[in-house]
Amino acid sequence: MKTLILAGGFGTRLAEETHMIPKPMLEIGGHPILWHIMKLYSHYGFNEFVILLGYKGYIVKEYIANYCLHQSDITINLSTNTIKVHNNYAEPWIVTLVDTGLNTMTGGRILRVRDYLDDEPFMLTYGDGVSNINIAELLKFHTTHGHLVTVTSVQPEGRYGTLSSDETGKIDFFVEKPAGDGAWINAGYFVCNSGIFDYLRNGDATILEREPLEELSRDGELFTYKHTGFWKCMDTQRDMQQLNQLWNKGHAKWNVWE
């Protein structure tokens, strides 16, 4: 089963970083967040990827094409224009990189790679969120309910601590950064059957999260896998700093492959 990764957006909320590189190439612990996402899927045996490129997609292409050089020590002989790779390490990945257009919407990007999927079920996620979700259990859940699409949902961490006090000011309880207001949100990590393409009808202008998912839900074809473990999206500089701190301190819960 192939895994599609949406990696073509502009990343405007991180414009101070993404004016140079696309958002999926922003680093956590010296590796692009894209690498972290691929490592999770690979841990569960999913090693075929289709990367849906757009904004500055050539940077992702160059990274994947030169992956061996990024991971290894090398000796370059300038006089003979040869490269010797030392302690070579390669991932068991097959990666298809597809330019899906600069301004194409999420559903339109998926539509553009239909020919690469052979009408088979596929995984799908965003290129900016890491999680310790059990991909095998996600797929099992999808297979069990037998409908077209499964989307993973999470309860995001709150931004601020919550407290309650009596009239004297005495605090009854304090919880630092609890889960949000009880709502479950779209965390990506989809599993899709090929029937989803019947709902992607507006070409490049198709926004997956609008009409397609809304219509799938009305038709009873959209289910959610509720994940109560770690999940975090890199939306802001603060998010990027927090993810790097977790990695550098050895507290990266999404690192299930080591």
Express each pLDDT in 173-219 by its tens digit.
Answer: 545 555 656 678 999 999 999 999 999 999 999 999 999 999 999 99
Whole-number pLDDT of residue 184: 86
Whole-number pLDDT of residue 208: 96
| Residues 28-38 pLDDT 10s | 999 999 999 99
Whole-number pLDDT of residue 15: 85
Higher per-residue pLDDT: 14 or 170: 14
| Count of CA atoms in the C-beta half-sphere (13 A) of 56 | 15
DSSP character string of 26-61: -EETTEEHHHHHHHHHHHTT--EEEEEE-TTHHHHH
Whole-number pLDDT of residue 12: 87
| Residues 50-91 pLDDT 10s | 999 999 999 999 999 999 888 888 899 999 999 888 877 789
Whole-number pLDDT of residue 180: 58
Q: Any idea what the Cα angle at residue 96 is, between residues 234 and 252, rounded to 5°?
A: 30
CA distance 55 to 196: 25
Whole-number pLDDT of residue 175: 52
Q: Which pair of tokens denotes residue 18?
A: 């993404």
CA distance 59 to 57: 5
pLDDT, average across residues 11-33: 93
CA distance 46 to 239: 27
Whole-number pLDDT of residue 90: 80
Whole-number pLDDT of residue 178: 57
Q: In Å, what is the CA distance from 73 to each residue of 68, 77, 86?
A: 9, 14, 5
Other CB atoms within a 10 A radius of the CB of residue 118 amount to 9
Whole-number pLDDT of residue 163: 44
Whole-number pLDDT of residue 183: 77
Strand partners, 80: none
Whole-number pLDDT of residue 170: 43
pLDDT, average across residues 221-235: 95
Q: What's the whole-number average pLDDT of the chain? A: 91
User: Could you tell me which of 5, 12, 100, 112 has the C-alpha nearest to residue 53?
Assistant: 100
User: Could you tell me which of 222, 11, 45, 236 has the C-alpha nearest to residue 127?
Assistant: 11
Whole-number pLDDT of residue 50: 98
246 pLDDT more than 60: yes
Give, to the nearest 10 degrees, the angle between helix 135-145 and helix 33-43: 60
pTM of the model: 0.90
Whole-number pLDDT of residue 181: 61
Whole-number pLDDT of residue 174: 46
pLDDT band of 16, cuts 50, 70, 90? confident
Cβ(24)–Cβ(57) below 8 Å: no
In order of their start, the domains of the chain are 2-156+184-248 (3.90.550.10)
